[in-house]
Structure 1
Amino acid sequence: MVHFISIGQLINSIFHISGKGNAGSAAAAASTVQAAASSSAIASSSSSAIASFISTSTASAISTSTASAISTSIVSSLSTPIATSSSVSIAASSSASVAPATSTSAVAANSTSAAQAVSGCDALIQALTFPDQQVTVVSCEDITSGTALTLPTGPSNCNGGSVQTDLRRVTLNIVTSYASSNYVEVWLPTGQDAWNGRFMATDNKGLSGCPSYDDMIYTSSLGFSVVGDNGGHNNTEYLGMDAQQFLNNNEVVIDWSYRARHAAVVAGKQVIKTNYGQAASYNYMLGCSNGGRQALQSAQMFPDDFDGIISGSSTNDFNHHMDWSGRMYVLTGADSSDSKFLSYDDWVIVHDEVLAQCDEPLDGVADGIIEDSTICDFNATKLTCADGQTDGCLTYEQTSTVWNVFSQLYDQDGNLLYPRLAPGAELYASTNGVLHGVQGHVTDWFGDGFNNTSFDPSTLSQTEYTLADDDDELHGKVSSFNSDLSAFQAAGKKLIMYHGLMDPAVSAEASQRYYLNVARDMDLDHTGLDEFLRFFRISGMYHCTGGIGAWAFGQNINAQNGTGNVITDIMNWVENGEAPDTMTGTKFVNDDPTQGVQMERHHCRFPYRTTYSGSGDSTDADNWSCELINDWQECGVYNVPRLC
């Protein structure tokens, strides 16, 4: 029997399991089932390279006759009639034995597709079961390409956009603990041969309680069935990267750390299998920033979730990353009233000197791009004003600030906690990164994440560093720094990491450090790592996207027009055994594809260094090659940088 309950009853049933409740979480969950306003559109075309790859792949083909037969079988086997109601209501599923349902008033007009095993939303909802999960189907609708997304009240504080393909949009609420739940969206391409037979999971950026709608729009336009979720909490501010719902509810922290992602993946796969009558042939994840951390954590904790993972600009070693980010404010001061503070013009002076020492002298090309910032042994002493000099130089205290900014973070016993800011990233970081005042996510993390509403970012110290380390297990192993990927390797899975070397928010050297730790702890050389892990250092790229270098390689919707595409690369590696040796990035004139290509670069996998030939046009990717770094595994106090 299908039971309809009110929204209030739904929230009560979700958050009073085992006799416990949480008003804040209940309110957050209630917001996920409210109607909402539409958001602005994001319009873009899909990558022709991926479209070509997908269209020629036979692994994902679904015949019309097979789909029709499956559809007939499932629909005719339904013994419970589809419930209808003129009121706004939601059907609850408390166990796998009760099929979730929804009122027809919450479902858009259904359309049939030869690629689908069920004829419409009503049939899909009636057929769905979720073994070992407590899931409620909140809504289902079929929407057409170009439709602007309407967002429930909670996720309405997120970027929405317009879908770029016809799809079926299913929303779920998954109970993750006695005091938390996860809002999930599953997007299912509809129409003849619209689905490519593959699944793509997306991420959460920063501390955000938002599905990554931009990545969902992008990857669904490529034919993937896609899952996104809010990480177990909703944003409380528009586009905020806040963690206010972490306060006094550690279950929400655990959800955001890993649990919400895994729960969404498990439930999403069930929706896909029911909708199409078959499971996805291949399962992938795309994540950047905190999403890069989540991607690595999936490889560490749930090696069977995905066949291929893309982890970009990762904030793994998360606790120490937050220590490092917050420390920058302590080092640089708040404003010009502090003698150690540097203005933007001061950082221009620093940046020019960094390039003078580490651009052309190291890579042979004076283009403002340091090809390998990890070998830049920057000497800040030259910045200090000589006697009587006042222009184009820094005071002694300001020079000390620069030395500190380019230093690693250690604990009180001299153990490395986090690498330095990569030289070359300092100028952009002064306006859009860790050198730009108080970092809001740092305040939220050490405040709400540790139930300390009186936290003062100007007093961040070893006390907070130690507390974060001590609470890592409590927070769901949010550090995501386990370098033993043996289970992932044994399962035959593949992982691509990338990081922009001009990242202003996350040290690019942190990703290289993780690679080195995997090599050390798994006792593998680079040829052994090449079998399942490849790491690409992207010169001239900022955080996840943008930059002065060849930064576009299909990693997100803004980068889809580049010559290379990392999604194609991971698919080729997983499905055809063709591992990428380089990642081809493109820089368009003014970052506008209609204005033509400014430069391209074949970014080499580590431990190879992208090296200029010494002659020819440096903007031509063919004038660069990959040279093995002979001492890539060395680390220690006297190395620059100290990464191990």
Structure 2
Amino acid sequence: MHLSISNIAVFLGFFARLAACSADKCALLASNISVANSTVITYDYLLNGTTFDLPGTVESCGGPNPKASTTANVCRLVLTVTTSPSSEIQLEAWLPDSPAWNGRVLATGNGGIGGCIDYATIQNGAGLGFASFGTNAGHNGSVGYDFFLNQPEVINDFGHRAIHVEAEVSKELVHQYYGTKARKAYYAGCSTGGRQGFQNAHLYPEDFDGLLLGSPGVDWLHIVASKGILARRIGWPYINSSAYVRPEQWPAIVEAQIQEFDALDGVLDGIIDEPTKHRFDPMSLTCGTGLLNSSLCLSPQQVESVRRAYEPIVSSSGQIVYPAFELGSKTDVFSANQVNGTAKLSYTILQDFWRGAVFNNTHWTPENFSESDMDLAISINPGQVNAAEKDLSSFYRKGGKIISYHGRNDETVTSALSEQFFTGVQTALDVTLQDMHSFYRLFFLPGMHHCSGGPGAWSIGNAQKYPYDKKLLDSKHNALIALVSWVENGTAPETIVGTKYEDDVIGGNITAQRSKYPLHPAPHKFSALRFSQNIAPIHLLAGGTGSMMQA
């Protein structure tokens, strides 16, 4: 169709009036918002592609002067909601124009100890037409302990309350802005965000219809504590002792594991598909065997330290409480533990949370961390943060759906935990595997690091990773779209295809793809940490590098 200059002017005038109308509507919402205990900090109507400043952002959240870009024409609001006389959470809302809104809410969670709004998932969601929301979980920053000191209500926000408040406020804002209720509400989060999602399903099952939960940090206190216990097992903080395994030795130790077990899945691709199936004997790396040079090989005392690093975490009474660290994964979370020759953990969450929320003591340090310190935190469970509750019966009965995914190369949350949680939910509900798959499907991604990245075909529309590949916006390749299709059309995801991009640049040159199947666990004892994963036959991706595979 040929457009004359006059026709173009008409169209431009129409869109200008539409934008002005939307801007007025946004201002009206901000000035007349009717949400209990809320205060609007800022608002603006922003056109698609607008880059704007995020003033006041702390360094650990990308500050001091980060920017964000809109992915739709949106009414953006930032507001606080008081959650108790001594606490409040910050919320961010991106509300697409009415014609683009898909009738759905998408709420997001956090990572680590919270404190940072998940702009990546908000951007992806708004670009797909969701009214998208984020929260700081009650404090600003993902590093530090001071916001938890003498602040039990702030800990409650981080532990369990912030996502529930986000769910309630997001639905009310949508109703007030669009004049109609959202037809469905979704949630997407990874790591701590995965923990928040599972805990929300347990405590507040009516909040969401569908949950996309990556690398979920359920049993969060054991996850964090494990880093201190593993550091102690390898000789830290006595970095000059004969049993201490130095940081520079660990990449060689992990590479030796990959060399030993990589080919057992039928393909040499630098990935151990199922690390829980194997046991590694560090004796092979002893000095004199020739596998490692004299600067990296292990002394007899170091051999025992490495062996202990790959044993499950036990309580002070000797009960196994957390799976073993998995073979082939980077070990920095416990082995990067000195700075300029001084013992210091690079994994700061342990010190921050135990100092601020468990002991409420600014002088506490993790150098003497023990199983007793871990057990004490479990007994206190600050803010109900330890989302290990497996009774999801109310969420199951209401028809809610969960897609969970976990990388098999996860260096932060051991992937075996997801399998144990899945079987624990099945036991708590006393249902068949078919019943479990009717509402909860768990996908493992070989070669994926924590939440994203890694040598495997890991991209499935992961939470906290922006932008989505516009060429793969379908239920076969994008887990969020698959979740919507499952909730609203009853189409359960039989497979999800993971994609590997050159240099991990999403949307770039595809080097590999691989189908992921839902977990089909076999009955086993907790301590065995073994299971069978149903994976498709593997073959080379046409046009690929030869080292990456498609199944």
Please confirm whether the aligned pair reaches a TM-score higher than 0.5, indicating the same fold: yes
For the pair 1:227 / 2:130, whether they are aligned, the reply is: no
Aligned pair in 2 of structure 1 residues 243, 204: CA closer, same or farther (>3 Å)?
A: farther
One-letter code aligned to 2:371? Q
Query: Structure 1 residue 356: deviation in Å?
Result: 3.4
Higher relative contact order (CA 8 A, sep 6+): 2
Q: Is the 8 A contact 2:513 2:541 kept in 1?
A: no
Aligned equivalents of 1:312 and 1:559: distance in 2?
17
Correspondence for 2:151 among 222, 245, 249: 249
Aligned pairs (5 A) from 1:483-632: 483-556=390-463, 557-558=465-466, 560-561=468-469, 563=472, 564-593=477-506, 596-607=509-520, 609-611=533-535, 613=537, 624=551
Which TM-score applies when normalising by structure 1? 0.73
Query: Structure 1 residue 345: deviation in Å?
Result: 4.5
Aligned equivalents of 1:615 and 1:272: distance in 2?
47
Aligned pair in 2 of structure 1 residues 535, 559: CA closer, same or farther (>3 Å)?
A: farther
For the pair 1:331 / 2:233, whether they are aligned, the reply is: yes
Of the structure 1 ranges 492-501 and 347-356, higher mean CA displacement relative to structure 2 is found in 347-356
Aligned equivalents of 1:623 and 1:311: distance in 2?
24
Aligned pair in 2 of structure 1 residues 349, 153: CA closer, same or farther (>3 Å)?
A: closer
Correspondence for 1:273 among 153, 175, 199: 175
Query: Structure 1 residue 220: deviation in Å?
Result: 1.1
Correspondence for 1:294 among 181, 196, 199: 196
SS of residue in 2 equivalent to 1:397: helix
**Aligned residue number for residue 14 of structure 2:** none
For the pair 1:407 / 2:316, whether they are aligned, the reply is: no
SS of residue in 2 equivalent to 1:359: helix
Query: Structure 1 residue 510: deviation in Å?
Result: 1.2
Aligned equivalents of 2:495 and 2:51: distance in 1?
37
Aligned equivalents of 1:452 and 1:471: distance in 2?
15
One-letter code aligned to 1:400? E
Query: Structure 1 residue 318: deviation in Å?
Result: 1.0
Query: Structure 1 residue 592: deviation in Å?
Result: 3.1
Q: Is the 8 A contact 1:161 1:214 kept in 2?
A: no
Q: Is the 8 A contact 1:209 1:234 kept in 2?
A: yes
Correspondence for 1:139 among 39, 42, 64: 42
Aligned equivalents of 1:283 and 1:170: distance in 2?
19
Correspondence for 1:453 among 334, 343, 362: 362
Query: Structure 1 residue 595: deviation in Å?
Result: 5.3
Q: Is the 8 A contact 1:552 1:559 kept in 2?
A: no
One-letter code aligned to 2:207? D
Aligned equivalents of 1:325 and 1:547: distance in 2?
21
SS of residue in 1 equivalent to 2:249: helix
Aligned pairs (5 A) from 1:65-464: 111-113=20-22, 119-130=24-35, 133-153=36-56, 158-159=61-62, 160-190=67-97, 193-235=99-141, 240-332=142-234, 333-334=236-237, 337-361=240-264, 363-386=265-288, 391=294, 393-425=297-329, 428-430=330-332, 433-437=333-337, 438=345, 439-450=347-358, 451-464=360-373
Q: Is the 8 A contact 2:83 2:89 kept in 1?
A: yes
Query: Structure 1 residue 522: deviation in Å?
Result: 1.6
SS of residue in 1 equivalent to 2:533: strand
Q: Is the 8 A contact 1:443 1:457 kept in 2?
A: yes
Of the structure 1 ranges 349-358 and 486-495, higher mean CA displacement relative to structure 2 is found in 349-358
Aligned equivalents of 1:477 and 1:423: distance in 2?
31
Aligned pair in 2 of structure 1 residues 614, 256: CA closer, same or farther (>3 Å)?
A: closer
Aligned equivalents of 2:58 and 2:276: distance in 1?
39
**Aligned residue number for residue 469 of structure 1:** 378
Aligned pair in 2 of structure 1 residues 120, 387: CA closer, same or farther (>3 Å)?
A: closer
SS of residue in 2 equivalent to 1:449: helix
Aligned pair in 2 of structure 1 residues 222, 383: CA closer, same or farther (>3 Å)?
A: same
- Residue identity (%): 30
Aligned pair in 2 of structure 1 residues 594, 220: CA closer, same or farther (>3 Å)?
A: closer
Q: Is the 8 A contact 1:155 1:230 kept in 2?
A: no
Aligned equivalents of 2:425 and 2:306: distance in 1?
31
Which TM-score applies when normalising by structure 2? 0.85
Query: Structure 1 residue 119: deviation in Å?
Result: 4.5
One-letter code aligned to 1:206? G
What 5-or-longer segments of structure 2 have no aligned partner? 1-17, 338-344, 521-531
Deviations, residues 415-445 of structure 1 (Å, cap 9, x unaligned): 12111111110xx333xx3332211111001
Q: Is the 8 A contact 2:511 2:541 kept in 1?
A: no
**Aligned residue number for residue 69 of structure 1:** none
Aligned pair in 2 of structure 1 residues 315, 623: CA closer, same or farther (>3 Å)?
A: closer
Deviations, residues 160-197 of structure 1 (Å, cap 9, x unaligned): 4222222101122211011111111111012x622111
Q: Is the 8 A contact 2:114 2:192 kept in 1?
A: no
One-letter code aligned to 2:104? R
Of the structure 1 ranges 335-344 and 260-269, higher mean CA displacement relative to structure 2 is found in 335-344
Query: Structure 1 residue 377: deviation in Å?
Result: 2.0
SS of residue in 2 equivalent to 1:537: strand
Aligned pair in 2 of structure 1 residues 249, 595: CA closer, same or farther (>3 Å)?
A: closer
Aligned equivalents of 2:549 and 2:270: distance in 1?
19
Aligned equivalents of 1:406 and 1:156: distance in 2?
34
Aligned equivalents of 1:121 and 1:558: distance in 2?
26
Aligned pair in 2 of structure 1 residues 174, 387: CA closer, same or farther (>3 Å)?
A: closer
Deviations, residues 520-565 of structure 1 (Å, cap 9, x unaligned): 2222232111011001111000010100000111114346228411
Query: Structure 1 residue 121: deviation in Å?
Result: 3.0
Aligned pair in 2 of structure 1 residues 408, 157: CA closer, same or farther (>3 Å)?
A: closer
Aligned equivalents of 1:158 and 1:406: distance in 2?
32
Q: Is the 8 A contact 2:315 2:372 kept in 1?
A: no
Aligned equivalents of 1:146 and 1:435: distance in 2?
42
Aligned equivalents of 2:305 and 2:27: distance in 1?
62
Aligned pair in 2 of structure 1 residues 599, 615: CA closer, same or farther (>3 Å)?
A: closer
Query: Structure 1 residue 144: deviation in Å?
Result: 1.9
Query: Structure 1 residue 156: deviation in Å?
Result: 7.4
Query: Structure 1 residue 616: deviation in Å?
Result: 5.7
SS of residue in 1 equivalent to 2:21: coil
One-letter code aligned to 1:224? F
One-letter code aligned to 1:579? A
What 5-or-longer segments of structure 1 have no aligned partner? 1-108, 625-644
Q: What RMSD in Å do the two structures reach over aligned CA positions? A: 2.5
Aligned pair in 2 of structure 1 residues 187, 335: CA closer, same or farther (>3 Å)?
A: farther
Aligned equivalents of 2:537 and 2:289: distance in 1?
42
Of the structure 1 ranges 345-354 and 283-292, higher mean CA displacement relative to structure 2 is found in 345-354
Aligned equivalents of 2:437 and 2:253: distance in 1?
37
| Number of aligned residue pairs | 498
Aligned pair in 2 of structure 1 residues 367, 612: CA closer, same or farther (>3 Å)?
A: farther
One-letter code aligned to 2:336? H
Q: Is the 8 A contact 1:539 1:549 kept in 2?
A: yes
